[in-house]
Amino acid sequence: MAQPIVKNTGTNYTLYYNVVNYLKTILSNHPSVDVVTLGDVFELGEREFPAYPIANIQIVNTSFGTSVTNFDIELIVADKIKNKNNESNPITNAQTIPFYGVDDKPDIYSNTLAIINDITSYTQRGVAGFEINDDIECEPFSDQFDNGLAGWVAKFTITTHNDKNRCLFFLIAQNNIGYLIENCQTGQRYKAILDVNTLPIGGVFNTLISPGLSPTYGNLVCYSIIEPLSDETNWDLINLPVLQPGLIVDCPTCDLWINPKIWGTTPAQWTTEFRTWITV
């Protein structure tokens, strides 16, 4: 039964497990691949498998970009070499050139290269979570392993999104003071650690609704500071940024900053009640 391909719907594809699982899934679904393995190529040469062709996945290097993760992949697709003595001259062992000799290596080269093309083409065209942007280098082999395998080694880089969410964990020793804060619009309260040392009780600040996104108007929210918290271990929000202009007088003024009626102006030039432009 074919394994389902998981689309990019909230899955953290920058995890090593997910990259390996994706490659295993599409290789297992390929009709010409019988066995999929993961690991060092030397282990591949020391084992015998119940069926062939075989595909081996190895991640040889990884790099983090600004918003991406790059996985350097070595994919081996190989088959067991089979002698064709019945098709060669029993006296001279003559070979038919250029296609057939005493074994079926030309067939193996053709089939395994086609498998690699299918797998990389699907990744480039048919899936949302991963990309292959550079060329795919393929090198044939026939005497690299002791168990009589021939095929191709494909080298390519898989790129996936990395949102680098800074609010997943609190990895620094607790130095900042925690607060009980209240959403100015909904009244919902949270236990939060801010990215500043101290703020006065009763003050109001604006911050991001989704920390991983840019500070555009649709991603801003106002909180009022209710009271400080200590000896707390279960925080709702960690390293919550306090955006410019910093501490604000009250919720209505903060709301003017995050939801302006007149773009390119400042709240100091609006009336709080009607939020209309004032000529000064």
Write the CATH number for 91: 3.30.2000
Instruction: For residue 221, give the amino acid letter.
Output: V
Distances 60 to 43, 57, 157, 242 between C-alpha atoms, Å: 15, 10, 10, 41
Length of the chain: 280
Shared domain check, 134 and 224: no
Shared domain check, 189 and 157: no
Q: Return the pLDDT at 63.
A: 94
Shared domain check, 96 and 31: yes
Q: Return the pLDDT at 28.
A: 93
**Number of domains observed in the structure of the chain:** 2
**Please, are residues 179 and 199 in contact by the beta-carbon 8 Å criterion?**
yes
- Whether residue 220 lies inside any domain: the answer is yes
Instruction: For residue 103, give the amino acid letter.
Output: D
- Whether residue 120 lies inside any domain: the answer is yes
- pTM of the full structure: 0.56
**String of b and e for 27-59 (b: at least 16 CB within 10 Å)?**
bebbeebeebbeeeeeebbeeeeeebbbbbbbe
**Please, are residues 239 and 170 in contact by the beta-carbon 8 Å criterion?**
yes
Shared domain check, 133 and 223: no
Shared domain check, 226 and 121: no
Q: Return the pLDDT at 69.
A: 92
Spell out where the chain has E strands.
35-38, 54-64, 68-80, 137-141, 149-161, 178-183, 189-194, 204-208, 220-229, 237-240
- Whether residue 276 lies inside any domain: the answer is no
- Whether residue 167 lies inside any domain: the answer is no
Shared domain check, 137 and 80: yes
Residue indicated by tokens 């003017």: 256
> Count of CB atoms within 10 A of residue 93's CB?
10
What does the pLDDT profile of the chain (280 residues) look like in tens digits?
Answer: 444 444 444 577 788 988 999 999 999 999 999 999 998 876 776 677 778 899 999 999 999 988 889 999 999 999 988 876 555 454 554 555 555 566 778 888 989 999 999 999 999 887 878 999 899 999 999 877 767 888 999 999 999 988 776 555 555 545 556 889 999 989 999 998 887 766 788 889 888 887 667 777 778 899 999 998 877 778 888 778 888 667 787 888 888 778 765 545 555 555 544 444 443 3
